[in-house]
Structure 1
Amino acid sequence: MPGQNIFEPNPPPEPSHLPESLLECQVKLDINGALTPDELDAISQFRRAADYIAVAMMFLKDDVLLERKVRSEDIKPRLLGHWGTCPGLVLVYAHINRIVRKTNIDTLYVVGPGHGAPGILSCLWLENSLATFRPHNTRDKAGLKNLISGFSAPGGFPSHINAETPGSIHEGGELGYALAVAFGAVMDKPDLVCVCVVGDGEAETGPTATAWHGYKYIDPAESGAVLPIVHVNGFKISERTIYGTMDDKEMVALFAGYGYQVRFVGNLEHIDDDMAASMEWALGEIHKIQHAARSGNPIVKPRWPVLILRTPKGWGGPKSLRGEFIEGSFHAHQVPLPGAKSDPEQLSLLEDWLESYRPKELFDEDGVPNENILSIIPESNEKKLGQRKEAYAAYSPLNVPDWLPQGVEKGSEQSCMKVVGEFLYQVVEQNPHSFRIFSPDELVSNKLDAVLRHSGRNMQWDVASRASGGRVIEILSEHTCQGMMQGYTLTGRTALFPSYEAFLGIVHTMMVQYSKFVKMAHETQWRQPVGSLNYLETSTWARQEHNGFSHQNPSFIGAVLNLKPHLARVYLPPDANCFLSTMAHCLRAKNYVNLMVGSKQPTPVWLSPEEANKHCIAGASVWKFASVDEGVDPDVVLVGIGVEVTFEVIAAAAILRKRLPSLRVRVVNVTDLMILEPYGAHPHALSETDFATLFTKDCPIHFNYHGYLGELKSLLFGRPNMSRITIEGYREEGTTTSPFSMMLLNHTSRYHVAAAAVRGAALTNQRVEVDAHAVISELMHEAEKAKQYVYQHGTDPEGTFDVPSFA
């Protein structure tokens, strides 16, 4: 009913029935005198100033210092932003400033509630970091006017933290990933402390729940530390949060179970003393753990600190409107007074709210903050949260070994992954502090375990791998692997994410969010390049016949294809040498999302190392050895894209050479998928002339593609004479069966390829035309016989995967 209060503001959690002894895991501190009177006054004024600016950003387009009575025309036509989390984010920011100034520690601030951008931007303006990167946001009245009026307006800052926000390495638009990002950021940076705020709404997500285990992969001798702060303000958009209904004992039980020491911060009357004492305690605990590890006497299973910050939702905002609570309720989540422009009552409440911060005490007539506010801001620019080099200019290129000496013999059969694993071992050896592999417990299964010879895994709760400098993080959470890789990459290092093909889709949206961050970073003038995100996709559908339909899914290819073209790279190397060349290239590349797709099973090595290098540089080439007359004057072009489907193309070419010698075939392999897009659509796209040189101007073309048919159709759309193109690929057909049966089910078998070649060639070659129907019928008959053989014997016909001969 209108006017009825559905929820009372921040109601106390109902008491649990957990034993009192659990509270022994809770840390209690004497907060009296944690701050000197001068510090307390300075922090209070900093918070008031930042909160005022945050409110003004959401509402005002003019009169940003309240030099007259607020009028309707001062209010923005569209009100955007999220007030509810801002006061808590500002509180944490102020106290990080104070502790940095006091101790000179190196700190990053990772903000899970990215929708609290006004609170962060206001602090960045106060510390003068905005002006460093955006000269029109100077720390004066003009710069403040530009910030406030431009927020969520064209040309200004968006309503969420993004790459345009100095100091940020996490966007926070999609909740759940801040904690994993923070853990990735501190790896191999022993002096760095990452303060990470996790909102209580975000804390409900599965990725966050798993990321709490992240410290179990942090070796305190080699890496920095994460200080998590769970901001419990009780409400999401319109519902209470789970954490908001949990009392202290339940919270302690949860986090003690995770392995943390818990400290609650929530004494609102003395909140600054409470937070100051709590942060000093937390940093003391971190130092104790690190000192022990770096002195050669590590604490086994150390309990890292976590702070639980309890404040009202929208703290300091309007208390109520027309009988409905605002502060401390879900009504404070976004814009608390949405009708301020047209409703006199709301306009009056807004003016009272703004005046409650007493802005005339905080800024002089030129809009410059007073000396008290400035006194808690770090004096050195490089120590300010908005100007940390780790967040925008820390990239250090890998020392990538020369892969050519590691190439394997042409004509042999090799597992791409085993060969690449040996190469990655050398990468690890030569980059002991700037390269890591994040893998969801599949490294051995994917035959990449050569890297473990160096140092093994980096799981600090496992006695077998503790404190051994391992470069491999294996945790059965793709989300955590992705988040850690993002944090590691954005702070200047390089990583690899190998996975079963079917399950990379779990991090699809995370990868897309990351690519949006990198796109915006690329468009700023001040963010420097970062290493690429590198995905290695193996255990593919074509060889997941033993695990069955659930493990057969190449959809992550399409997810990468949908990214901004200058960011996306998809490679399907056809053999081990091509995979070595591709891996070396991707580890050197910057700013991209690289996806490499290949088989872990032994497959033929078609090209020598030198040939493979040339092939990968070109992105595609005619394979003369499998073509008729080395591909000159063909009737049809057969194209393989992917390891197993390329084998079927070559097998089809061998069949046709024997069955129908009058049919002239050109065999092409594509390793760089992006060359197929129309010229200008992607940096790698072939010109029309080059496309015609490779695929001819008018011959029928049949593509045998590893992924979904629609992906390839989309890439090729816009090329001239599309009617001559036919495509087969993964048709979402599979089961627990045999490898060749997977080819048959998805129409990518040699028989299907050969039949497509005959149909195409019959259009122009009369010698083929007269025999076409009989040959196609025979091919389909043989496909059916192979299918029946599999059903009868449970295995493929003998010799199915023998390397075709063209003698």
Structure 2
Amino acid sequence: MVAGGLDGEDPMKVHRRMATALDDALAAIDAAQAAARSGAGDARPAWPLIILRTPKGWTGPKVVDGEPVENTWRAHQVPLDSVRENPEHLRQLEQWLASYDPVALFGESGEPAASLAALKPHGDARMSATPFANGGRIRTDLRLSDFRAHAVDTAGSRTVTASATHGFGEWLADVIRDNPDTFRLFGPDETVSNKLDAVFEVTDRVWAARLLDTDLNLARSGRVTEVLSEHLLQGLLEGYLLTGRHGILNTYEAFVHIVDSMFNQHAKWLEATRDIEWRRPISSFVYLLSSHVWRQDHNGFSHQDPGFLDVVVNKQAHLVRISLAPDANTLLAVMDKALRDVDTVQVVIAGKQDQPAWLSMDEAEAHVQRGAGAWDWAGTPGSPDRDDPLPDVVLACAGDVPTLETVAAADIIRHELPEVNVRVVNVVDLMKLQDQREHPHGFTDDQFDELFTTDRPVVFDFHGYPSLVHQLTYRRHNHDNIHVRGFQEKGTTTTPFDMAMLNDIDRFKLVLDVLEYVPGLSARHPDAKASLQERRDAAREYAYTRGEDHPDITGWEFGQG
């Protein structure tokens, strides 16, 4: 279908041709939808395409100051830029505006003529009023089954392992089953890779193209939308939320950067509509980022980038939430909370590989409610005769792999530096670090000081770039004592523990930091530094010669040192 106008063609003729083409296109769409809904045939319809061809700057001044404007780059600028000073420019502007015949369109008072008013939509037919453009009017809460049914049974220990995303995927299947018309999962062909494949027990991937006998989980209807285009998925989920429904976009952490600008625009839209009284809240945009920077055994440096967090925290604080789930049960509690929220962007990071299930379900829920807290079971009491109620050092962590390395570091200290009192602090809600005056989830200064102290060294093992923790805590009383380990933009296709060592977030490096920052500790243990470095070197040598991590690393369990 073509509706076009070449240079010099009467605009009214083009308008009529465009109207005819639009009517024909809508009729073709109606016919295709009717056929699909009646079940008549399985053919993929050929959707209509309208091509409108007109000169750039059409109907405006063709020539200004002797230079051509219409159909040139000048039409994209301000064609008449000095109408206040240049009488000829003013005359051309008047001629241009008069060509639209405003006298016939508006009365002397400036109100639209009756012929125009009759075309005006009323009630829900108005663009701003239709519930399909103001989806909050028709949004309903998700029916969420009890996520606790999919909890990992820790059996009272800290040694059970589980895949966080696998467990979440089982609950996600329940969510899709119980909300068959209001929830969709979006992802760039990574549902199985990110271990969410339990959803295929209750739904399929939606697919409109040709179906082959060898296809798996493809169907004309399905609640999983997969296409290898993060841009398209972002736009689809935004539209789905704006029409009053719910969804999740899951993707590899490194490639969510592809939609940085689209995330920015969605956040800006949320901010701009915040104070519009008639616009109702919509479901929050939920990102689940897995296959993250610390677990890319088969992909390498190209797939290692945690920097989306830095983009997100720069938006208005009330719009963004960042959760770094340290284990499987915590991810379930985080997602239950995220899927109930409105008018925010929720960024959730969780690994797909088996990791220790540190917390029971009850502990995980309480931890998510607090957002951050001391794990007393992971800390060390230090000398039994000490009078100081404060720890000698705080080992803080955010993210599943940093948490593993932090707990392992504390365990080494418990066995090899027993006089050191260590407090282990895990942060699941990253915005807790920010001042409460800056973010609604932030700790007050008193709360932050109670957890991190005002004068003790803090060694913070972080999932992302170290500068982000400093950005969030720069106002805190103890900021000068906060030493952050994180991604240093060093990576390759290597073993998980070597990846940690390349970026100095590993357990041995953390204990070396404790030796450096706790006054007098290194002098009391003169051989400790060399011993720790030897173990680091041995772990690297083993990984490079065997292609896998040393059994002392892969087989480590809490409590063994």
Q: Same fold (TM over 0.5)?
A: yes
Q: Does residue 1:712 correspond to 2:469, yes or no?
A: yes
Whichever residue aligns with residue 430 of structure 2, its letter is: L
**Equivalent residue for 1:443?**
191
In the TM superposition, what are the counterparts of 1:649-668 in structure 2 within 5 Å? 649-668=406-425
**Equivalent residue for 2:550?**
797
In the TM superposition, what are the counterparts of 1:191-206 in structure 2 within 5 Å? none
Q: Does residue 1:389 correspond to 2:131, yes or no?
A: yes
**Equivalent residue for 2:385?**
none
* CA distances 1:733-756 after superposition (whole Å, capped 9, x unpaired): 111111110111110010011111
Verify the 8 A CA contact 1:546 1:738 in the aligned structure 2.
no
**Equivalent residue for 2:351?**
599
Whichever residue aligns with residue 517 of structure 2, its letter is: G
Picking from 118, 122, 140, the partner of 1:375 is 118
Verify the 8 A CA contact 1:572 1:598 in the aligned structure 2.
yes
Distance 1:678-1:277 versus aligned 2 partners, 3 A rule: same
**Equivalent residue for 2:282?**
530
Which has the larger displacement, 701-710 or 306-315?
Answer: 306-315
Distance 1:691 1:466 in 2: 50
Distance 1:325-1:712 versus aligned 2 partners, 3 A rule: same
In the TM superposition, what are the counterparts of 1:621-640 in structure 2 within 5 Å? 621-629=373-381, 633-640=390-397
Shift of residue 771, structure 1, vs aligned partner: 2.3
* CA distances 1:712-760 after superposition (whole Å, capped 9, x unpaired): 1111111113221111001111111111101111100100111112222
Shift of residue 687, structure 1, vs aligned partner: 0.6
**Equivalent residue for 2:338?**
586
* CA distances 1:610-661 after superposition (whole Å, capped 9, x unpaired): 1100000100111111112399631111011100111001111111111111
Q: Does residue 1:338 correspond to 2:95, yes or no?
A: no
Distance 1:681-1:232 versus aligned 2 partners, 3 A rule: farther
Whichever residue aligns with residue 787 of structure 1, its letter is: R
Distance 1:727 1:503 in 2: 25
Whichever residue aligns with residue 776 of structure 1, its letter is: K
SS at match of 1:499: strand
Picking from 394, 409, 416, the partner of 2:164 is 416
* CA distances 1:448-483 after superposition (whole Å, capped 9, x unpaired): 111122121001114256654311111001111111
SS at match of 1:526: coil
Verify the 8 A CA contact 2:173 2:198 in the aligned structure 1.
yes
Distance 2:105 2:418 in 1: 88
TM normalised by structure 1 equals 0.65
**Equivalent residue for 1:518?**
270
In the TM superposition, what are the counterparts of 1:151-166 in structure 2 within 5 Å? none
Whichever residue aligns with residue 185 of structure 2, its letter is: I
Verify the 8 A CA contact 2:381 2:420 in the aligned structure 1.
no
> What percentage of residue pairs aligned between the two structures are identical?
38
Shift of residue 358, structure 1, vs aligned partner: 2.8
Distance 1:772-1:466 versus aligned 2 partners, 3 A rule: closer
Verify the 8 A CA contact 1:636 1:757 in the aligned structure 2.
yes
Whichever residue aligns with residue 505 of structure 1, its letter is: H
In the TM superposition, what are the counterparts of 1:134-153 in structure 2 within 5 Å? none
Whichever residue aligns with residue 612 of structure 1, its letter is: A
Length, aligned pairs only: 544
Distance 1:329 1:774 in 2: 76
In the TM superposition, what are the counterparts of 1:100-111 in structure 2 within 5 Å? none
Distance 1:364-1:336 versus aligned 2 partners, 3 A rule: same
* CA distances 1:534-561 after superposition (whole Å, capped 9, x unpaired): 1111101111032111111111111111
Whichever residue aligns with residue 662 of structure 1, its letter is: E
Verify the 8 A CA contact 2:207 2:221 in the aligned structure 1.
no
Q: Does residue 1:290 correspond to 2:42, yes or no?
A: no
Distance 1:526-1:336 versus aligned 2 partners, 3 A rule: farther
Distance 2:512 2:112 in 1: 77
SS at match of 1:590: coil
Q: Does residue 1:540 correspond to 2:292, yes or no?
A: yes
**Equivalent residue for 1:185?**
none
Distance 1:773 1:493 in 2: 62
Distance 1:401-1:292 versus aligned 2 partners, 3 A rule: same
Q: Does residue 1:648 correspond to 2:405, yes or no?
A: yes
Distance 1:752-1:385 versus aligned 2 partners, 3 A rule: same
SS at match of 2:347: strand
Q: Does residue 1:457 correspond to 2:200, yes or no?
A: no
**Equivalent residue for 2:60?**
317
Verify the 8 A CA contact 2:204 2:219 in the aligned structure 1.
no
Distance 2:530 2:10 in 1: 82
SS at match of 1:530: coil
Distance 2:327 2:40 in 1: 47
Shift of residue 692, structure 1, vs aligned partner: 1.4
Compute the RMSD of aligned alpha carbons.
2.1
Shift of residue 773, structure 1, vs aligned partner: 4.0
In the TM superposition, what are the counterparts of 1:239-388 in structure 2 within 5 Å? 268-378=11-121, 380-388=122-130
* CA distances 1:47-68 after superposition (whole Å, capped 9, x unpaired): xxxxxxxxxxxxxxxxxxxxxx
Which has the larger displacement, 575-584 or 272-281?
Answer: 272-281
Verify the 8 A CA contact 2:29 2:48 in the aligned structure 1.
yes
* CA distances 1:183-212 after superposition (whole Å, capped 9, x unpaired): xxxxxxxxxxxxxxxxxxxxxxxxxxxxxx
Distance 1:521 1:555 in 2: 27
Whichever residue aligns with residue 797 of structure 1, its letter is: H
Verify the 8 A CA contact 1:233 1:328 in the aligned structure 2.
no
